[in-house]
A and B are shown apart, each in its own frame.
Chain A
C-alpha cells in the first residue's frame, strides 16, 4: 500500500503533460525514492547514425524522477522545483531498450532537498548516467516564515 504522500506524488507526476508526452511510467514511489521508466521511441533519437536516445530526454527523465523523489519524502510539505541538476553520461543507452531512472532524496531541509539519481537500460550492472540535483522545498501557502 502506498501512503498518502506517495499517492499525491503519483497523481501529480502522472498528470504532467511532458511526462505523458515522453511515455514515462512511475514504477515505484515512497519515502523519498522514486523510479520511472521511459520506453525507447525513435522520435527521441539524438544521433541519427546510431539511433541513440538524446541526452536531453534522459535529462527530462532524471529531472522528473528527482522531483518525484522529493515530493514523496516524508518531510516534504508540498511541491518542488529544480534548482540545479548535474548529469554525467557514462555510456550511450542501447537503442531499442527502455531507460529506467531511480532517484533518492537523501537529505531535506526546510528550503532545499538533495537528490541522487541513476539511469539504466536492460544492462543494470552498467548505468547509462548518474545525476545529482538540488530542489526547492515549497512550503504550503500562509505557512512561510
Chain B
C-alpha cells in the first residue's frame, strides 16, 4: 500500500489563502463595503465589517436594506467563484501564487437575485454563509443566509441564479 505523501500544512494553507486573497481583493466593491472572508477548508464565512456609511435608517438606526442585499449578493458570487477557483488551484491547473486578474477564472454573472428581509440589521458586524445548491455547465443556483448576533436568528436570506463563465476548450 502506498499513497502520495501529504503536502505540508503550510503549503496547503498558503496556496488556498493566496487564491482567496486574490479573488476577494480583485473586486473593488468588496473593499468599498468592507467585506472580508474567513476560510475553514473550503468553507467561507463573509464578514460585513460595520461602518457608519452602511446605515439606511438613521432614526432606528439600521443597516440599509440595499447593503444587506449587496452583502448577500457578494457572498453568493464569491462562494460560487471560490468553488470554481478551488478546483483549479487544487488540481494545479492554476498557480495560486501568481494569480492576476488575467489568469483568474471569469466571474459568474447574476441572472436574478431574490432577497427576503427577516429582521432589521443592527449597527454592528454581520456574517453570511452561502451554499451552492446546484452548479451546472451554464447555470448555477446559490442560497445565502446572513445573521448578526445569533446564527439561528437570520437578518436576511437570498437565492440567486447565475450564468457560469464559459469554460475554455
Q: Which residues of A contact B (CB under 8 A)?
A: 15-21, 42-49, 53-57, 59-64, 67, 79, 81-89, 92
Contact = CB atoms under 8 A, between A and B. Distances in A.
Given A42-B28, A81-B117, A56 B58 contact: no
Contact of B67 (A45, A54, A60): A60
A18 B66 contact: yes
B110 A89 contact: yes
Interface residues of B, number: 40
B115 A85 contact: yes
A15 to B, nearest CB: 6
B32 A44 contact: yes
B70 A57 contact: yes
Nearest to A24: B66
B27 A46 contact: yes
B114 interface: yes
A71 B82 CA distance: 40
B57 A59 contact: no
A64 B62 CA distance: 14
A62 B62 CA distance: 18
Contacts of B77: 46, 55
Main secondary structure of the interface of B (DSSP, over half): mixed
Given A43-B32, A55-B70, A82-B117, 14 more contacts: A16-B57, A17-B56, A18-B53, A18-B64, A43-B31, A46-B27, A60-B66, A60-B69, A62-B66, A81-B62, A84-B115, A85-B115, A86-B113, A87-B114
Contacts of A20: 53
B117 A55 contact: no
Contacts of B101: 48-49
B27 to A, nearest CB: 6
B133 interface: no
Among A53, A64, A81: residue with most chain B CB under 10 A = A81
Contact of B55 (A17, A48, A79): A17
Nearest to A65: B66
B73 interface: yes
A43 B29 CA distance: 6
Given A16-B55, A46-B107, A57-B29, A88 B73 contact: no
Q: Which 3 A-B pairs have the closest CB atoms?
A: A60-B66, A56-B70, A54-B29
Contact of B69 (A43, A48, A56): A56
